[in-house]
C-alpha cells in the first residue's frame, strides 16, 4: 500500500518489550524506566494477529525490537510464528547482543536469519561506561555465535557521538577487513533529553574520521536507508545512516508497533492508533486491516526532529 505521498509502505518494526538489560546513556535514564506490566503489552498471539492483518496492506518485512527483544520471555516462539507467515519475505531482529550467544541457535532454528547488534564502542571500559555496567565480552560472544551459526548479514549498529566514540570509527571500519560484518554508523537522533545532550556528528564528519578510502558498493540484504562502502579487500561493508543531516523521509517505508499496541506511522508522530484494547474487545480481522490502512494514510511527509518537537524515549524504539 502507498501513503498519500506515494511511498510504498512494506516494513513494520515491532517493539516486543520496553524492558532492557542495559542502561545506555543516550537511551535511558540511569534509574531506568517504569516498565509496562505483562498485561499492558501485546501477547504473541495479538502481535501475530496484527502482522496477519498488516500483510493485507502490503507489509512484507518485519523487524523485532525492544527495549531489548531477547529479554522477552519466549521470544523464539514469536519468531517461529512470524517466520511461518508466507507473505513475510524478511524477518530480522535488533539486539544489544548480551543474550545472543545463548539464544542464537534456537532463533535460527525457528526461522530468524538476520540480526543487527548495537555496539557503540570496542573498548571494554568505555562500554561499561556507556551502557552503565555492560560486559562487552558477552556481546562479542553473541556476534561470533551469529556468524558461526550462519546469520547473514550480521550488522553492527554504531551510534556516533563526538564526546564518546568518534575516535573509534577507524577501528570499527577495520573490523570489516577480517570479518564478514556490516558496520553502520548512525547519527544520534535528538529524540529526548537523554539523546539531546550528546554531541552530534554528521555523516560527512564520520567519513572524514575514517582515513581509509571508502569505495561505494551495494548494501547487504535489508540495506534500508544506509549508504554503503567497502575498504579495499574487506570481507564486509561500512554503512552510514543520516536521519538528521540527510533525512530519508522521502523514501520511508515503515510503520511502528509499540510494545503496548500503538501503531505509529512515524518515529516522532504524535498520531497513533491504539490496537490493544480493541483487539481484546473483539475487533475483527477486517476492522484491524482498516485501522492499519488508516495509519498508513496518516503517515506525515517528514519527521519533526529538527524543530525539537519530538520527545520519544529512545528506549521505546529499540534500534
Residues 6+ apart with CB under 8 A from 59: 9, 10, 11, 12, 51, 87, 88, 255, 292
For 133-175, the pLDDT digits (tens) are: 999 999 999 999 999 999 999 999 999 999 999 999 999 999 9
- The whole model's pTM is what? 0.94
Statement: residue 313 has pLDDT above 80: no
For 88-132, the pLDDT digits (tens) are: 999 999 999 999 999 999 999 999 999 999 999 999 999 999 999
Name the pLDDT band for 271 (thresholds 50, 70, 90). confident
The span from the CA of 194 to the CA of 283, in Å, is 37
Statement: residue 194 has pLDDT above 60: no
Largest separation between any pair of C-alpha atoms in the chain: 58
Name the pLDDT band for 197 (thresholds 50, 70, 90). low
Would you state the pLDDT for residue 145? 99
Statement: residue 280 has pLDDT above 90: yes
For 223-263, the pLDDT digits (tens) are: 688 999 999 999 999 999 998 887 778 889 999 999 999 99
**Cβ neighbours, 10 Å, residue 282:** 7
Name the pLDDT band for 303 (thresholds 50, 70, 90). confident
287 vs 192, residue with greater confidence: 287
Calculate the average pLDDT of the chain. 92
Domain limits of the chain? Answer: 11-316
Question: HEC profile for the chain?
Answer: CECCCCCECCEEEEECCCCCCCCCCCCCCCCCCCCCCCCCCCCHHHHHHHHHHHHHHCCCEEEEECCCHHHCCCHHHHHHHHHCCCCCCEEEEEECCCCHHHHHHHHHHHCCCEEEEECCCCCHHHHHHHHCCCCHHHHHHHHHHHHHHCCCCEEEEEEECCCCCHHHHHHHHHHHHHCCEEEEEEECCCCCHHHHCCCCCCHHHHHHHCCCCCEECCCCCCCCCCEEEECCCCCCEEEEECCCCCCCHHHCCEEEECCCCEEECCCCCCCCEECHHHHCCCCCHHHHHHHHHHHHHCCCCCCCHHHCCCCCCHHHCCC
Name the pLDDT band for 28 (thresholds 50, 70, 90). confident
CA 170 to chain centre: 23
Q: What is the mean pLDDT of residues 193-210?
A: 80
List the CATH code of the domain at 11-316.
Answer: 3.20.20.70
Amino acid at each position: 500500500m502507498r501513503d498519500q505521498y506515494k511511498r510504498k509502505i512494506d516494513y513494520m518494526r515491532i517493539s516486543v518489550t520496553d524492558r532492557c538489560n542495559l542502561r545506555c546513556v543516550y537511551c535511558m535514564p540511569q534509574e531506568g524506566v517504569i516498565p509496562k506490566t505483562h498485561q499492558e503489552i501485546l501477547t504473541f498471539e495479538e502481535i501475530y494477529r496484527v502482522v496477519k492483518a498488516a500483510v493485507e496492506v502490503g507489509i512484507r518485512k518485519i523487524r523485532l525490537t525492544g527495549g531489548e527483544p531477547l529479554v522477552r520471555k519466549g521470544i523464539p516462539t514469536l519468531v517461529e510464528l512470524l517466520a511461518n507467515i508466507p507473505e513475510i519475505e524478511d524477518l530480522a531482529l535488533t539486539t544489544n547482543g548480551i543474550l545472543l550467544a545463548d539464544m542464537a541457535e534456537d532463533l535460527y532454528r525457528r526461522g530468524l536469519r538476520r540480526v543487527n547488534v548495537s555496539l557503540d564502542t570496542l573498548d571494554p571500559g568505555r562500554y561499561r561506561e556507556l551502557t552503565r555496567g555492560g560486559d562487552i565480552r558477552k556481546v562479542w560472544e553473541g556476534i561470533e555465535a551469529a556468524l558461526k551459526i550462519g546469520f547473514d548479514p550480521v550488522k553492527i549498529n554504531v551510534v556516533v557521538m563526538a564526546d564518546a566514540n568518534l575516535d573509534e570509527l577507524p577501528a570499527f571500519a577495520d573490523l570489516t577487513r577480517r570479518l564478514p560484518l556490516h558496520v553502520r554508523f548512525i547519527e544520534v537522533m535528538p529524540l529526548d533529553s537523554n539523546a539531546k545532550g550528546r554531541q552530534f556528528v554528521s555523516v560527512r564528519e564520520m567519513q572524514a574520521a575514517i582515513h581509509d578510502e571508502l569505495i561505494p558498493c551495494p548494501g547487504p540484504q535489508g540495506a534500508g536507508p544506509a549508504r554503503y562502502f567497502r575498504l579495499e579487500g574487506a570481507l564486509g561493508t561500512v554503512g552510514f545512516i543520516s536521519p538528521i543531516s540527510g533525512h530519508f523521509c522521502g523514501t520511508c517505508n515503515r510503520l511502528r508497533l509499540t510494545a503496548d499496541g500503538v501503531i505509529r506511522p512515524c518515529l516522532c508522530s504524535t498520531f497513533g492508533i491504539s490496537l490493544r484494547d480493541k483487539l481484546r474487545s473483539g475487533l475483527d480481522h477486517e476492522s484491524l486491516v482498516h485501522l492499519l490502512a488508516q495509519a498508513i494514510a496518516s503517515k506525515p511527509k517528514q519527521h519533526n526532529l529538527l524543530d525539537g518537537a519530538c520527545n520519544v524515549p529512545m528506549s521505546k524504539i529499540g534500534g
